[in-house]
Amino acid sequence: MSYITDLTTKISRSEGDPKIISTGPSSLSAADKLGKALGWFSFGLGLAELIAPGQITRALGMEGKETLVRAYGAREIGAGMLCLSIDRQLGLWNRVVGDGIDVATLLTGMRSNNPKRDNVMLALAVVLGVTALDVLAAQTTTRRHRRNGAEPRRYRDRSGYPKGLQQSRGAARDMAHAMAPASTRALTHKNSSHISA
């Protein structure tokens, strides 16, 4: 523990380094930020489902489905981790699919003899609202981060050899063994103007 504390206390910016006066627009778009927020929401909901499935099923009048709720919790945590990662789109689409499963499960609680039917209706309304956000975030981030549909450029005229490929083959053969241990010292003296004697 002291090892970690020691490390973290040493990570700080040096006194003379430039300081921020004003900040500009972020590379993170509004959709990315929404996706991250949904990721944290997913993570929190997943933890609640894993830790307290009994309270959730009781509130919904769906006792006996605790194992299912725990499984949904694991799914939510997985989706949350993906939403917080650079594979955000995958996580958001995972959430959209999960929303569909949640809605289907909640609909089974809408039976007329369920005394907690009102709670189920409220939960359905919340899930449908979050689903709309999930779909919006998933579509927008997918559009923003996908490669263009246009045919990629091939850059076949960019050889990088002003004298042409054939004339360049082997032009630097004199350096081919420059890393060999025996020649290292000679190499550094020969090729660098920055060595101190």
**Residues binding another protein (CB under 8 A):** 3, 6-7, 10-14, 16-28, 32, 81-82, 85-87, 144-148, 152-163, 165, 168-173, 175-180, 184-185, 187-188, 191-196
**113 or 192, CB closer to another protein?**
192
- Rounded to 10 deg, the angle between the 30-51 and 53-60 helix axes is 90
**25 or 115, CB closer to another protein?**
25
Structure tokens at 96: 């959209």
From CA 190, how far away is CA 192, in angstroms rounded?
Answer: 6
Q: State the nearest-atom distance from the C-beta of 176 to another protein, in Å.
A: 5
Structure tokens at 62: 């769906």
From CA 68, how far away is CA 38, in angstroms rounded?
Answer: 22
From CA 140, how far away is CA 93, in angstroms rounded?
Answer: 11
**64 or 162, CB closer to another protein?**
162
Q: State the nearest-atom distance from the C-beta of 37 to another protein, in Å.
A: 14
Structure tokens at 37: 């927020």
Q: State the nearest-atom distance from the C-beta of 124 to another protein, in Å.
A: 31
**95 or 109, CB closer to another protein?**
95
Amino acid code (one letter) for 169:
R
Structure tokens at 180: 């060999």
Q: State the nearest-atom distance from the C-beta of 134 to another protein, in Å.
A: 19
